[in-house]
């Protein structure tokens, strides 16, 4: 998992570095600044739980960096963008055991992150429409730090009275039990891929925010079975599986719509 993340990030950074290398001799400058309000659906892609999205939210600002005197016909179309946002991510989750012991687990994660995206974009003015109508495409990594989060985790198992099988973080739990970042990583790295439309100074974007870092570390329930199989003399010899092997699960995912307004930077 970690190697896949590293390889993916290397590819993204290579693309951005390539854009920079093409423009190394150009006169570059900040040309626009603006603000965005984002709304959409967010969830954590945990295969161990049934999940439903929560309302994702974001607000923040950005600056555009362009190579305006690059001697190339696309000099006014390619740009880099850096931003600073406050985002809401998370999920609702549920898990039901239908066999004995009958049990149900349900809850939610509501997490707030500081996000810093670094995007490479392509902007194109539509020739069939009056001046001031653009479409744009953008791609790049984002870096996230979780600063506040709430967790509700409730499980009911009628046939087993133990507190480990019957609990509610908002009733029987402590303050730390309700803090989601006591149970998951604060740091996340992701990829943003989107398309947008600009009319004069107003911007409208649709984008996907795909997280790469597994947020939670869980015991691998298959590890004991793999261990037994590897020690079975009737089976082909396999590498021994550590009994405490971990299963990393859950990444942030979001599909967002944003509305913004931008202004030129006076030079």
Q: Render pLDDT for 109-129 as a digit per residue (tens, 0 to 9).
A: 999 999 999 999 999 999 888
Taking all residues of the chain, what is their mean pLDDT, rounded to a whole number? 83
Give the pLDDT score at 8. 60
Q: Render pLDDT for 82-109 as a digit per residue (tens, 0 to 9).
A: 999 999 999 999 988 877 678 999 999 9
Maximal C-alpha separation, the chain: 77
pTM, 2 dp: 0.80
Q: What sign does the dihedral 41-199-120-142 (CA atoms) show?
A: negative
* Structure-block tokens of residue 208: 């996907």
């Amino acid at each position: 998992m970690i190697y896949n993340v590293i390889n993916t990030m290397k590819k993204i950074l290579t693309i951005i570095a390539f854009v920079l290398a093409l423009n190394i001799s150009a006169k570059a400058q900040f040309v626009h600044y603006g603000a965005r309000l984002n709304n959409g659906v967010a969830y954590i892609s945990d295969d161990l739980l049934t999940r439903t999205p929560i309302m994702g939210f974001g607000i923040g600002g950005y600056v555009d960096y362009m190579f305006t005197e690059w001697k190339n016909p696309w000099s006014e179309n390619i740009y880099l963008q850096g931003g600073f946002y406050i985002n809401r991510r998370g999920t609702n989750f549920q898990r039901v055991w239908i066999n004995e012991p009958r049990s149900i687990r349900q809850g939610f994660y509501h997490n707030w992150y500081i996000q810093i995206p670094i995007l490479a974009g392509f902007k194109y003015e539509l020739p069939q429409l009056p001046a001031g109508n653009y479409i744009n495409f953008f791609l790049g990594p984002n870096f996230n730090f979780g600063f506040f989060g709430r967790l509700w985790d409730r499980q009911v198992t009628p046939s087993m009275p133990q507190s480990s099988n019957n609990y509610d973080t908002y009733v029987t739990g402590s303050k730390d039990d309700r803090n989601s970042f006591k149970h998951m990583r604060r740091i996340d790295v992701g990829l943003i891929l989107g398309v947008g439309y600009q009319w004069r100074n107003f911007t409208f974007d649709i984008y996907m925010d795909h997280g790469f870092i597994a947020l939670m570390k869980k015991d691998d329930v298959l590890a004991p079975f793999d261990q037994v199989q590897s020690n079975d003399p009737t089976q082909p010899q396999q590498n021994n599986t550590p009994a405490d092997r971990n299963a990393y699960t859950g990444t942030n995912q979001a599909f967002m719509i944003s509305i913004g307004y931008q202004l030129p930077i006076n030079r």
